[in-house]
Amino acid sequence: MADNNMHYNRIYSQTPATTAGGPVPGTGFNPPVPDAPGSDRPGSNPPPSGSPGSDKPENPAPPQDQKPPTPSQPPQLPGAPDTPSRPWMPPYSAAPIYPVTPTQNYGQVRFLNASTGSFPVNVSIDGSSYFSGSGFASLSAYDWISDGFHTVTVRSASGLRSILLQQTFPFLAGQKVTLVLTDATDGSLDLIRIVDTGCSNLPSNSACFRFANMTWPGSNLDLMLGNETVFRNISYQSVSSYKQAIAGNYQFTVVAAAGYAFIRELPLIILGAEGISITAHESLLVFSAAIAAGNDYTAYLIGNTWSSAGLQVLLAQD
């Protein structure tokens, strides 16, 4: 029995048993297994390049001490600038860049000159010109302004262009604002900030309408529709709230405020509104207003009755 064990160990140590393509037990070594002569196993040990039986010409490797010549300068593309120190890309046609209308973090502002002074003015915000050569009764279009506090400066458009007024206002993103230049009680100028936030969720065939008194210090006015009061006791440099108005052509009358607390206002502006006259009103101005559905309007009463500017209404779409 001992002889058999010795014989087995001697055979195992000399010729370890392996399987084709398998590892040698206990060694972790995978010896290459040559193909059997005449083997037609597909993909088994293809002949190396240049070996007998291969139709691929042999490409002998160059000697180790011979290297291909290195060019003294990198290849240059046509039209490339002579700046090898940094990468260069060939020119290409960039897509056109379209201006983006600012909406986020921006509001809008416009300027109304309601001062009866005969000279035009220039208006700048934070040193940037916004409105130039603005005379009495001129209303600019809305312009964009960033959210935050900004300093508004009013100067004479002629002569020494000295500063007539300078004031800082807050401006909010998504909000429309009208700056109204008016006459002050001391003979100087005032700048009034009016927020133009109109109605929302309007019924069909309806609009929004309000009235602003930008005439002279101490004035208090009523706006009448026929014998009905639309807005009552609107003081100087103030503006009424918006009211719903049915679309149509209206004829309003501006009168001095009656001063009676019991006088009611129309809750809705509608064509054909009539009523009984409570007191005798002295008419200051009669004006027409064409109101279209879906819009917001402000009727600015400006000027006075004793200057060349006269008294007039400027109907602005907000």
Question: What is the per-residue pLDDT across 24-75, written as a single tens digit (0 to 9) for each?
Answer: 455 454 555 555 454 444 444 444 444 444 454 455 555 555 555 555 555 5
What pLDDT shows up at residue 71?
53
Number of Cβ atoms within 10 Å of the Cβ of 309: 17
CB 179 within 8 A of CB 112: yes
Tokens representing 89 are 């890309």
Range among 82-96, 98-112, 210-224 rated most confident: 210-224
Low-confidence winner among 224-238, 251-265, 289-303 (lowest mean pLDDT): 251-265
Residues constituting the chain: 318
Distance between CA atoms of residues 119 and 104, nearest Å: 37
Distance between CA atoms of residues 164 and 152, nearest Å: 11
Tokens representing 91 are 């020119």
Mean pLDDT of the chain: 77
Provide mean pLDDT across the span 301-307.
92
At position 258, the amino acid (one-letter code) is A
Provide mean pLDDT across the span 11-23.
46
Lookup result for tokens 């109304």: 112
Tell me what percent of the residues of the chain surpass a pLDDT of 70. 63
200 versus 225: which is more confidently predicted? 225
CB 191 within 8 A of CB 179: yes
Tokens representing 118 are 């005969």
Half-sphere exposure of 245 (CA within 13 A, CB side): 29
Q: Give the three-class secondary structure for 36.
A: coil
Tokens representing 267 are 């809750």
Q: Give the three-class secondary structure for 24.
A: coil
At residue 151, does pLDDT exceed 50?
yes
The C-alpha angle with vertex 98 and arms to 97 and 104, in degrees rounded to 5, equals 120
Tell me what percent of the residues of the chain surpass a pLDDT of 90. 48
DSSP H stretches of helix in the chain: 2-14
pTM of the predicted protein model: 0.66
Residue 139 pairs in a beta bridge with 112
